[in-house]
Structure 1
C-alpha cells in the first residue's frame, strides 16, 4: 500500500504544476506582455528622407508643420558646345559678307568683332553666338566656300551633373528660407531676431548666386559660342605679288625717310648729354692753363 501511495502523490503534484502553468500563460498579464513584445519588435523608426528633417527644430517635425518639398522639374541633358575656327581667305571684305549671310540663315548673331591690319596680314576676329541646334550647320557652312580652314577645334562639355546638383541645393535652400522666415515671426528676443535675420540674408545671397549660375548655364547651353578668325596674308615678293615696281620704289623711299627721321630724333633725344661737352672742354682748358702758370 505504501508503494502505491508514493507514485500517486507524485502524479497529482505534476498535474497541478501543468495546470498552473497553463493558467499563467492564458492570464491577461501574460497576454499584455506578449503583445507588448510583438509591438516593440514591429516598431521601427524610419530614417529622415531629407537633410532638412535632421536640422529643423523638433517643434517643426509634426505632420501639421511640415512644409512639402518643392518638386524639381525633370532636368534634361545639359551640353555646352564651343568652337574655334581660323580660315584663310583671299578677300576679307568678300569673306565678311559671306559670313554675314551664313549667320542670318542660322539665326545667329555677332557678339564681338575685332579687325587688325598689319604689314604682313589682315585679321577679322568674330565671336558668334548661335542656337545650339544650328551650331553644326553653321560650322559646316563656314568650312565650305568661305576659304581654306587652317584650324578648327570643337568641344562639348556635359554640365548636367553640375546643373542638377545646383538645382537640388537651391530647392533645399528655399525650404530653409521659408522655415527661418516663419521662425522670425515667432522670435521672442532681439538677439534671436538678429541671428535669424543674418541667416536669412546669407540664404538669400546663396540663392541669388545659385540662380545666376543656372541662368548662365542655360544661356551657354541654348546658345553655343564660335570664335571665328578670318585671315588674309599680305604677300610682297616680286614673284607672287601684283604690286608693281613703282609702288615698291615708293615704299622703299618712304621707309628710308622714316628711318632717317627716327635716327635724327634719336640724336636729338641725347641733347642733355651734349651740354656736358662744353663744360668738360672749359674745365680741361682751365686745368691746363693753371698747370702752365705753375711751370
Structure 2
C-alpha cells in the first residue's frame, strides 16, 4: 500500500511540472508576439518618393489663356458688373450760381469733381465738368441736375454690362496664379541651368500677365463702383452785348475798313487768274484761223 501511494505521488509531481512548463512556453510565445506587434507599430513604412514633374509638363504661359479653369470653384458666382455713364448739357442764367449749385449737389450725393474746364467767348460761357458718383447715388445725382440748375438741352444715359468680361479675366487670372505656383515649385527642383532659365522666363511672363489682369479688374471695379457724369453748363450771351458800348464813329470806321479789305481781297483774287487772261486771246486766235480755213475749203 505504501508503494502504491509513493508511485501516485511521483506521477502527480511529473504531471505538474509538465503543465508548468507548458504555461511558461505559452507565456514566452505571447511575449514574442507582443514584441512583434510593438515593432510593427514603432517602425512605420516610409512614404514613397515624390515623383518629379517631367520636362514635358512645362506649359507655355500663352496656353494658359486657352485652357479651362479646372481648379476654380464652380459655385463662385460673380455679381453683375454694370458701368453707367451720363452726358448732360444744361442752359443756365448765371454760370457762377450754377457752379455753386453744382458743388452743393455733388457734395450731397457723396460724389467728387474729377476734372473741370471753363471757356468764355463773345458768344457764350461754358463750364465742362467730369463728376464721379457712387453707383447707388447715380440716379439721384442725374435727377438733381435735371430739375434744379436750369433747362436741359440734351441728356444721354448709357449702361454697359461688363460681367462677362470681368468673369473671363478673373478665371484666367486664377489659372495664371495656379500655374505660377507650379512653375515656382519646378524651379526649386530644376537640375540644369537650361531648365532654370526656361522656367524663369515662363514665371516672368506669367507675372506680367497677372499684373495686367489685376489692373484691368481694378479699372472695371472703379468704373462700376463710381459712375461717370459729364456735365456742361451753358450760358448764351446776348448778341448785342459785344457792340453795345461801341460808338457810331468807331463802328463806321470798322465797316469802311472791312469794305476796303474785301475790295482788296477781290482785286487780288482776280489778279491770281492772270494765266487764264493770257490764254484767252490765244484760244480766240486759234479759233478764228480754224474758222477761216474751214470757210476757204467750203468755197
Which residue of structure 1 aligns with residue 195 of structure 2? 192
Alignment of 1:246-257 (within 5 A): 247-249=245-247, 256=254
Pair 1:216–1:90, CA change in 2 (3 A): same
Which residue of structure 2 aligns with residue 132 of structure 1? 135
Distance in 2, matches of 1:208 and 1:180, equals 17
Deviation at 1:75, TM superposition (A): 1.2
Distance in 1, matches of 2:200 and 2:253, equals 72
**Are 1:221 and 2:224 matched, yes or no?**
yes
After superposition, the C-alpha distances for 1:86-119 in whole angstroms (9 at most, x for unaligned) are 0011110010011111000000000000000011
Question: SS of the counterpart of 1:112?
Answer: strand
Question: SS of the counterpart of 2:191?
Answer: coil
Rg (Cα) greater in structure: 2
After superposition, the C-alpha distances for 1:146-199 in whole angstroms (9 at most, x for unaligned) are 011000000000000000010011001000000000000111110100000000
Pair 1:160–1:89, CA change in 2 (3 A): same
Pair 1:246–1:133, CA change in 2 (3 A): closer
Deviation at 1:248, TM superposition (A): 3.7
Distance in 2, matches of 1:234 and 1:122, equals 8
Question: SS of the counterpart of 1:123?
Answer: strand
Distance in 2, matches of 1:251 and 1:140, equals 51
Which residue of structure 1 aligns with residue 164 of structure 2? 161
Question: Unaligned 5+ residue runs, structure 1?
Answer: 1-54, 58-67, 238-242, 264-295
Deviation at 1:56, TM superposition (A): 4.3
Q: Is the CA contact (8 Å cut-off) linking 2:125 and 2:236 kept in structure 1?
A: yes
Q: Is the CA contact (8 Å cut-off) linking 2:84 and 2:160 kept in structure 1?
A: yes
Pair 1:252–1:194, CA change in 2 (3 A): farther
Question: Unaligned 5+ residue runs, structure 2?
Answer: 1-55, 59-69, 262-299
Which residue of structure 2 aligns with residue 99 of structure 1? 102
Distance in 2, matches of 1:146 and 1:209, equals 42
Deviation at 1:69, TM superposition (A): 3.5
Distance in 1, matches of 2:249 and 2:116, equals 31
Which residue of structure 1 aligns with residue 153 of structure 2? 150
Q: What is the aligned length?
A: 194
Alignment of 1:70-81 (within 5 A): 71=73, 73-81=76-84
Distance in 2, matches of 1:107 and 1:190, equals 57
Deviation at 1:235, TM superposition (A): 1.2
Distance in 1, matches of 2:143 and 2:249, equals 41
Which residue of 107, 111, 116 corresponds with 1:108?
A: 111
Distance in 1, matches of 2:148 and 2:178, equals 56
Distance in 2, matches of 1:149 and 1:83, equals 13
Flag as ranges the 4+ runs of structure 1 deviating above 4 A.
Answer: 70-73, 243-246, 250-255
Pair 1:250–1:175, CA change in 2 (3 A): farther
Deviation at 1:252, TM superposition (A): 5.2
Question: SS of the counterpart of 1:232?
Answer: strand
Alignment of 1:1-295 (within 5 A): 56=57, 69=71, 71=73, 73-237=76-240, 247-249=245-247, 256=254
Q: Is the CA contact (8 Å cut-off) linking 2:89 and 2:152 kept in structure 1?
A: yes
Distance in 1, matches of 2:112 and 2:252, equals 42
Which residue of structure 1 aligns with residue 269 of structure 2? none
Question: SS of the counterpart of 2:239?
Answer: coil
